[in-house]
Structure 1
Amino acid sequence: MTRNKTRVLVPVLGDQLTIGLASLAAADPATTIVLMMEVADETTYVRHHKKKIAFLFAAMRHHAIALRDLGWTVDYVAFDDAENSGSFTGEIARAVSRHAPDRIIVTEAGEWRVRAMLDSWETLFGIPVDILRDDRFLASHADFEAWASTRKQLTMEYFYRAMRQRTGLLMDSQGKPVGGQWNYDQDNRKPAKADLLMPRPLSFAPDAIVRDVLALVADRFADHPGSLEPFDFAVTRDDALRQQKHFLEHALPRFGDYQDAMVTGEPWLWHSILSPYINCGLLDPIALCHEVAARYEAGQVPLNCAEGYIRQIIGWREYMRGIYWREGPDYVDRNFLDHHRNLPGWYWTGETDLHCLADTIGGTLRHAYAHHIQRLMITGNFALLIGADPRQVHLWYLEVYTDAYEWVELPNTLGMSQFADGGLLGSKPYVSSGAYINRMSDYCGSCRYDVKQRTGPDACPFNSLYWDFLARHEDKLARNPRMAMPYRTWAKTDPAERERIRDQAATFLASLDASGDAGY
């Protein structure tokens, strides 16, 4: 009997958990096999946080059920399937053998590593492979290239404005930004105090599927960093939408004011905790932005809060993706400051007497989450000040955060946090002494070090490391206009004091090196 209709195989990857995914929209459920795969290669190319693996496996298994409920035929390969080949390409080969498809339709990959796999499938399997644009992003690769090619210098702010104009988000009837300005970041830098009325994200009890996944991860990934408990992620679209609504109602109205604040023992503050759900596809980022704008227009959210949140999504998130794909797979090898020190091993344990780092890393290991200022100005700042190898820093961030995928994490880490691209992404290195941490957090009041001292046995290491960093890299950074003020201050510092500061930093760095406590 001859088949009359073309049989299609649609692979759905772990960050493509979207019902309206482009490849599904292009296929007919009656003639399509959806392939979903839990494969070893994707869990071990870095040592992903246990909770990150558990979240994605649980969300994938629930997504398969949602697709079946909508009439799709789903071929699901579980991690512990005895025949599991361990790779995307290996599982495509087995699925081609099982289902004899006439065509493969797939949504483009988010990372260079996976894109190379997709590009090889047509040749390997001898059938047409349609790779469709991921329309969950505003800007296609061609869109970003067209924007970037007209500019002498790339600046996120101007890309963000173009995205505002494209979407109409927070724009008035004359095509101007509401409120008369594009960016309210100057209003979003308030420190916060511990508050019993601080909003908390919703917590979701593990169901039977999640419990099975947690047992699997505990057994098979025992040597990976982080804790599995407590596990309270949303793992379905419905629950992710509940978390989204909770944020919009309870945290967004003060998000902007306190988005840069840090408080001991408070990992969430007024942040949305939605990035894991956005980046794996359970939530629609553009729909979320429209909901934020609608709440501003209804008078429920201040403009600085709405604008600050929308900028993170259609500004930074889209811009990071554009930079990642424009710069190419060798972006990861850049090291403008020639940094090669190993990350301290306590980045994997949180066991340090630097309270800000202990709190941030400890929270990261518990929750597979830290908010953006903890990432940038605590763990990233310290790594940059000690001269850590930027590739090691990148791998650590990729490992430990549930929302970390290379397309968004690499430019944020290598470019913005570690300045390894020499200023392509950020106009200056994001470094600070202990004064910034003291101003934006309560960390210093609980630390054994004195944030007011630059030298001596009790001096905060961030202070001497900051000035030593500037001195080490004066040849590369002194002409940067955004670094002019600290270099003028350093030049005016008494030479004997400069020597004491640099000796203090050298002693601290030597103690790091002598410990032999390196994570990689």
Structure 2
Amino acid sequence: MRNLILIMGDQLSPNISSLKDADPERDHILMVEVMEEATYAKHHKKKIAFIFSAMRHFAEELRETGFTVRYVKLDAPKNTGSFNGELGRAIKDLSPEKIIVTEPSEYRVLSDVLTWEDRYSVPIDVREDTRFIANKDEFANWAAGRKALRMEYFYREMRRKTNLLIEDGKPVGGKWNYDSENRKPADNDMFMPSPLSFEPDEITRNVLSLVDKQFSDHFGDLDDFWFGATRQDAEKALNHFIETALENFGAYQDAMLIGQKYLYHSVLSLYLNVGLLDPIDICRRAQEAYYEGKAPLNSVEGFIRQIIGWREYIRGIYWLKMPDYEKSNFFDATRALPNFYWTGATDMRCMAEAIGQTKSDAYAHHIQRLMVTGNFALLIGANPHEIHEWYLAVYADAFEWVEMPNTIGMSQFADGGLLGSKPYISSGNYIAKMSNYCGSCKYNVKEKTGENACPFNALYWHFLDRNSDKLRSNPRLGPVYRTWDRMSDEKRKDYIKSANKFLNQL
């Protein structure tokens, strides 16, 4: 044979660079399910099932186009459990002239891949992942010499490059960003669409049985599995979102409601991040909806910004700053993550809702992640590496390149402000404004201190007080610290006392 082409679990795209110029007559494809990747973080059962099922379906898609696919299932008798072991076995059995692989999305895997040529004495062709708009060098060039790497400015470059929502060289509507229009609280009386769900086929049912057997001690529920597993499923899910939810996505993207897991969110990131959807195609479809009058500009711009702005920017930060970025801990936070992050058993209704749906569906939307579970972890001084590992494990769309900067940088401010201009923290007031959680919570969001007070209220001031030496000079926090300084000594002591009592219980 000529080439052995290795395709990884998040490279399920027919236009992946490793398949460029591939010859079905002479090249073989290698795909492997390995325990090493399923357990380096203790991934949610539904996440493992989704990825394995999507891989198996993609292998069938490749076979239908004429390729020979060597697919090693997790429970195959000779499965060595690692990329290295399975590649070594394939090389021994097939004697390829060359190994071709698209660069892995995670630093640790790429570091390993770069050792393969010496290890196996076979030429390795590591190709750029061309599914992204900005490559690593382009982002590094943009970042060079900048004091602050703010997403907004990078996003504008991506808009110009893609020509999305651009007319005559200027942003449609006259503004680059309509985020100020996208912060409305929702109401249960509103029509709430649900993401398109899919009945598991035989391949998926076999995977669910495998996961149930092999990963019974992993976090999350496996029942009611509804994710699609094919490119056709992902396309249908995209069409469904555009037709039923995009119109209201913008205005209500920050809202949270009891029992409403999805509101107007697309839940497409899991398909996008494994390669079943193309980012530019998604954005063009959303843009088309705007021009056809099916969705307003604030919704379409906000949706496109998440993909060509935030997603691309986060990837750029990851590759620019790894491997040291993972160790960032600006606040020297060391507290262990509370056990209820794994059980959902807490009297704080907002936390119980966010963690409960995470456990059941391997999903929570970005405000639940940022301003509920992330906000709480930051306020209590949780070790940022622990919360990073939690997010990586529990969400179906979480791969390290996209999850780590979102957690270390945006959520936990552990990078000291490289990514964000201030910590994303709030008292209970923000959650009360953007959700209906507080009305049925054991704690009273209007009480600031004491046994019945919302814990977020005292924890907010406790966080600011204990980190005053690192944050007081932040211009965006100046007004907040002036408010703290104007409080009476007695009131400040009461906040600190209430927060310490709660923290001691953790």
Aligned position for 1:256: 250
Q: Which whole-Å CA distance do the structure 2 matches of 1:392 and 1:151 have between them?
A: 30
Aligned counterparts, 1:262-341, within 5 A: 262-341=256-335
Aligned position for 1:162: 157
Deviation at 1:25, TM superposition (A): 1.4
Deviation at 1:298, TM superposition (A): 1.5
Report the number of matched residues: 506
Q: Which whole-Å CA distance do the structure 2 matches of 1:456 and 1:310 have between them?
A: 44
| Structure 2 residue matching 1:269: 3-state secondary structure | coil
The residue type equivalent to 2:217 in the other structure is D
The residue type equivalent to 1:125 in the other structure is Y
- Identity level (%): 57
Deviations 1:431-452 (A, max 9, x none): 0000000000000001010000
Deviation at 1:474, TM superposition (A): 0.6
Deviation at 1:151, TM superposition (A): 2.4
Deviations 1:311-333 (A, max 9, x none): 00011100000000000112111
| Structure 2 residue matching 1:462: 3-state secondary structure | helix
1:29 aligns with 2:24: yes
Aligned counterparts, 1:115-264, within 5 A: 115-173=110-168, 175-195=169-189, 197-264=191-258
Q: Which whole-Å CA distance do the structure 2 matches of 1:223 and 1:113 have between them?
A: 25
97, 103, 106: which one aligns with 2:101 = 106
Q: Which whole-Å CA distance do the structure 1 matches of 2:484 and 2:144 have between them?
A: 38
Q: Which whole-Å CA distance do the structure 2 matches of 1:330 and 1:31 have between them?
A: 41
The residue type equivalent to 1:245 in the other structure is N
| Structure 2 residue matching 1:202: 3-state secondary structure | coil
Deviations 1:178-226 (A, max 9, x none): 1111000000000001136211111101111111111111111011000
| Structure 2 residue matching 1:231: 3-state secondary structure | coil
Q: Which whole-Å CA distance do the structure 2 matches of 1:464 and 1:115 have between them?
A: 44
Contact kept, 8 Å, 2:148 with 2:419, in 1: the verdict is no
| Structure 2 residue matching 1:325: 3-state secondary structure | helix
1:379 aligns with 2:373: yes
Q: Which whole-Å CA distance do the structure 2 matches of 1:188 and 1:470 have between them?
A: 27
Aligned position for 1:518: none
Deviation at 1:430, TM superposition (A): 0.3
Q: Which whole-Å CA distance do the structure 2 matches of 1:128 and 1:415 have between them?
A: 37
TM-score by length of 1: 0.96
1:41 aligns with 2:39: no
1:17 aligns with 2:20: no
Q: Which whole-Å CA distance do the structure 2 matches of 1:118 and 1:262 have between them?
A: 42
Aligned position for 2:414: 420
Deviation at 1:152, TM superposition (A): 2.9
Q: Which whole-Å CA distance do the structure 2 matches of 1:320 and 1:438 have between them?
A: 29
Q: Which whole-Å CA distance do the structure 1 matches of 2:148 and 2:445 have between them?
A: 37
Deviation at 1:26, TM superposition (A): 3.2
Deviations 1:326-380 (A, max 9, x none): 0011211110001000000010000000000000000000000000000000000
Aligned position for 2:90: 95
1:471 aligns with 2:445: no
Aligned counterparts, 1:76-95, within 5 A: 76-95=71-90
TM-score by length of 2: 0.99
1:507 aligns with 2:505: no
Q: Which whole-Å CA distance do the structure 2 matches of 1:60 and 1:459 have between them?
A: 48
Where structure 2 has 5 or more consecutive residues not aligned to the other structure, the ranges are: none
Q: Which whole-Å CA distance do the structure 2 matches of 1:15 and 1:414 have between them?
A: 22
Aligned position for 1:486: 480
Deviation at 1:115, TM superposition (A): 0.2
| Structure 2 residue matching 1:366: 3-state secondary structure | helix
| Structure 2 residue matching 1:398: 3-state secondary structure | helix
| Structure 1 residue matching 2:71: 3-state secondary structure | strand
| Structure 1 residue matching 2:369: 3-state secondary structure | helix
1:52 aligns with 2:47: yes
Q: Which whole-Å CA distance do the structure 2 matches of 1:239 and 1:316 have between them?
A: 25
CA distance 1:176–1:196, shift in 2 (3 Å): closer
| Structure 2 residue matching 1:75: 3-state secondary structure | strand
What is the alpha-carbon root mean square deviation over aligned residues? 0.8
